Structure 1
Amino acid sequence: MDGMTDTAQQQLRAQPRLTRPDGSPIRIVVVDDEQSLADLVAMGLKYEGWEVKTAANGQQALQAVREFRPDAVVLDIMLPDFDGLTVLQRLRSAGFDVPVLFLTAKDSLDDRVAGLTAGGDDYVTKPFGLEEVVARLRGLIRRTAAAAEESSVLWVGDLMMDEDSYEVRRGGQQVDLTATEFELLRYLMRNPRRVLSKAQILDRVWSYDFGGRASVVELYISYLRKKIDTLGPPMIHTVRGVGYQLRAAE
């Protein structure tokens, strides 16, 4: 695999840096049993400011996706225990719809069709340039983000809200909310990591000025904390003198 040329590096630096909706770094899992190749790809992705974990076989890949919750997976088809197509099938069966970029040494139509039919999103053929991998990943992540914006499902860390079904879960556990609690949480989840003042929350959730009764915000924040923050590390934070912030648990 070729490294990045100076021109490619300049072009990538000129593009806006991609992040998750909450402002945290994009996460990628790179799966290849050639350690030197995996390390080189990881180095290029870290240059983008992304967080990267590597895996050398299919079993490690499944574990890395479960634990790291990546935004995309770079997946070699040929692995020592079971192939990349099997890894993808197991991920999809387990409910992981993370986009997958296949790496393959086979430049045959059948291999490419098999990968995409199995649920893969794109592929590059070895040998490849590192800038091509980065460009294709950026495209996958952008398309996934655009689809998520059209979806009724919001995610912040392990907290999920389906705006259509009014379902809320944290870590897979259902959270029952009142209508007002739901609207407050929706506002927080649509503005992850942003500090929202009590006045902003009153205006958005209650739609009118409570005449200084900002204590109602404190009350409903406490209700949410009892239902959300008791299911894991705290996600709802007070920024003293400013307001409240929802962010993924670290």
Structure 2
Amino acid sequence: MNAAHKTTILLVEDEQNLHEALKLNLELEGYTITSAYDGSAALEALQNEYFDLIILDVMLPEMDGITVAETIRISNNEVPILILSAKNSSADRVLGLKKGADDYLTKPFNLEELLLRVNKLINKNKKIQEKSTVGNSYSFGNNLIDFKAQEAVTRTGSKIQLSKKETMLLKLLIENKNEVVPREKILQSVWGYNVYPTTRTIDNFILNFRKYFEDDSRNPRFFHSVRGVGYKYSE
């Protein structure tokens, strides 16, 4: 994620006055806010844009916040979710956290506490995203990748030029070694925030990697597709 990327928050709250007050205070903290006033609008915004955090009211028209959180998690989107709720019982809190919320704040809340929790969730998420970075070069199975020069020497000794996107995708997968990287995260990190090409695009890149780097591309050792979830590099 580049340093110029401003921290973006999707604010989902149908009560106009509270929405405006929250938006203003969050903007004063330096966050970029996208507004949604119901669940469907929130899910639509998520299809088109990357967010660092969602602030989600439970009592929304048509689709309630708990259903929205559940839908987001089913699609393997790991964006942090802070739920706001007028319901204060521990059963409601447990349900919210169970359905995918990272934090739960009951109304009326103290604004300073909300801002602290927002800051904490965003920083925690950024730390997770900035996993161990690999250096300028990386070798595996007699292949050597030079990320800086955007080229690789394959196990057969042939040198290949890599495109910028190939280099970025290789780096992302290798930095998350042995872990499935969700499709959304790949599209967001490699293709840019608001352009979501089809999964087929990523599949083609993975097929190329297998051709370049695997002894047997039909039985890959390094580059794996995990159906419906994402892709994984393993050693």
For this structure pair, what is the TM-score category when the shorter chain's length is used for normalisation? 0.5 to 0.7
1:139 is aligned to 2:120: yes
**Letter in structure 2 aligned against 1:51:** T
Conserved in 2, the CA contact under 8 Å of 1:100 and 1:122? yes
Aligned to 2:6: 25
Unaligned runs of 5+ residues in structure 1 are 1-19, 154-158, 183-250
1:82 is aligned to 2:63: yes
1:50 is aligned to 2:31: yes
Q: Work out the CA distance in 1 between the residues paired with 2:81 and 2:130.
A: 20
Deviation for aligned residue 1:148: 1.9
Aligned to 1:123: 104
Aligned to 1:244: none
Distance 1:138 1:57, change over 3 A: same
Post-superposition CA distance 1:184-208 (Å, at most 9, x none): xxxxxxxxxxxxxxxxxxxxxxxxx
Distance 1:142 1:114, change over 3 A: same
Match of 2:89 among 78, 103, 108: 108
1:68 is aligned to 2:39: no
RMSD of the TM alignment (CA)? 3.0
Post-superposition CA distance 1:35-74 (Å, at most 9, x none): 1111111111111111101111110110122223110000
Conserved in 2, the CA contact under 8 Å of 1:116 and 1:122? yes
Aligned to 1:97: 78
Unaligned runs of 5+ residues in structure 2 are 135-167, 192-196, 214-235
Q: Work out the CA distance in 2 between the residues paired with 1:136 and 1:122.
A: 8
Partner SS for 1:162: helix
Q: Work out the CA distance in 1 between the residues paired with 2:209 and 2:79.
A: 31
TM-score (norm 2): 0.60
**Letter in structure 2 aligned against 1:106:** K
Deviation for aligned residue 1:102: 0.3
Partner SS for 1:81: coil
